[in-house]
Amino acid sequence: MNPQENVNLYTGNRLVIDSSQSSIKSVVVRGNLTAAILSNNAYPSKNFTLTTNSTQLYTVDLLLSYQAPYTSEIVISDPSSGSKTQYTSYFVSGGDLNLTIFASFQTAPSTGPSVPLGWSSFYGWVSQFGGAFPFWIKILYAVLGAQFAFVGYRWIKFEDERRRIEGHLPPLDRGNKVYLWTEVVFRTLIAGFAISLTVMIGEVLVLLIAQYLLFVNLNLISLVDFFSIFFVAALGTLVYLTREGLERIFDLKPIMED
């Protein structure tokens, strides 16, 4: 009998093979033995133990043999909690059992207190969030953002200086400038949304025309990304509501000439 078992453990757990008789004749372990802790038994033995404190993969070959009936079981032991879980067990009426175990030790999920947030956590979150957007979407909004930020800054500065020189209208205060910047952000999102949606629809139309009218299958890089469309739409809605709130609740919209 030559059974094989795949056992998943957390680092620090113990892989234990117990037998009701001294049936474990020999053990062969393959893997990073410098990181492993093995039981130091004299064979034949009733048990064998393997553990490690790092992520490792081991192959354990055991030869069990006894003339009388015996039972053998694979147990996962957690020293930190003192718990023991039986993975599986065998009953052998007598004779040999060639058992192969593929033991995979993985890092346990964190259950402790949360790590204080820092700049590294923030940068990690930003990088993961940015990875949800296609590269061309990020380039598009980076270019539009830089362009609208430059034009918006020049426009707000010019409007403020013109008011101070001509004196027809009161100069812009901080609240007025915040309102105008929400206008700039809103127009940036509207422009990006329109361009990206046009590009996506254009690619779909090109593929449909090529396939159903020209009978050609084009292998183009997919530019369609619904996540970015819905995200920009939701963000644009929030910016629009913010702008309306600044105008209707706080009355921060500057008086403009007709």
Euclidean distance between the first and the last CA atom of the chain, given in angstroms as a whole number: 93
Residue at a domain's end among 57, 77, 106: 106
- Residues 67 and 165 grouped into a single domain: no
- What pLDDT is stored for residue 116 in this prediction? 58
Amino acid identity at 58:
Y
Residue 255 lies in a domain: no
Residue at a domain's end among 40, 72, 106: 106
Residue 115 lies in a domain: no
- Residues 98 and 134 grouped into a single domain: no
CATH number at residue 78: 2.60.40
Residue 118 lies in a domain: no
- Residues 17 and 75 grouped into a single domain: yes
Q: Structural domain tally of the chain?
A: 2
- What pLDDT is stored for residue 252 in this prediction? 86
- Residues 237 and 132 grouped into a single domain: yes
| Beta carbons of 229 and 193 less than 8 angstroms apart | yes
Sign for the CA dihedral angle at 66, 88, 1, 105 comes to: negative
- Residues 102 and 135 grouped into a single domain: no
Instruction: Identify which of 72, 70, 87 has the alpha carbon closest to the alpha carbon of residue 14.
Output: 87
- What pLDDT is stored for residue 41 in this prediction? 85
Residue at a domain's end among 76, 106, 136: 106
- Residues 32 and 70 grouped into a single domain: yes
- Residues 18 and 77 grouped into a single domain: yes
Residue 136 lies in a domain: yes
Residue 151 lies in a domain: yes
Give residues with Cβ within 8 angstroms of 241, minimum separation 6. none
Sign for the CA dihedral angle at 35, 40, 43, 47 comes to: negative
Residue 116 lies in a domain: no
pLDDT tens, position by position, for the chain (258 residues)?
A: 789 999 999 999 999 999 999 999 999 999 999 999 999 889 999 999 999 999 999 999 999 999 999 999 999 999 888 899 999 999 999 999 999 999 999 988 766 555 555 666 667 777 778 888 889 999 999 999 999 999 999 999 998 898 888 877 888 889 999 999 999 999 999 999 999 999 999 999 999 999 898 888 888 888 889 999 999 999 999 999 999 999 999 888 887 765
- What pLDDT is stored for residue 202 in this prediction? 94
106 vs 7: CA distance, rounded Å: 11
| Beta carbons of 145 and 151 less than 8 angstroms apart | no
- Residues 93 and 143 grouped into a single domain: no
- Burial environment of residue 60 by CB neighbours within 10 A (0 to 12, 13 to 18, 19 or more): buried
- Residues 93 and 140 grouped into a single domain: no
Structural domain containing residue 207: 124-248
197 vs 191: CA distance, rounded Å: 10
Instruction: Identify which of 105, 110, 107 has the alpha carbon closest to the alpha carbon of residue 52.
Output: 105
- What pLDDT is stored for residue 47 in this prediction? 94
- Residues 95 and 167 grouped into a single domain: no
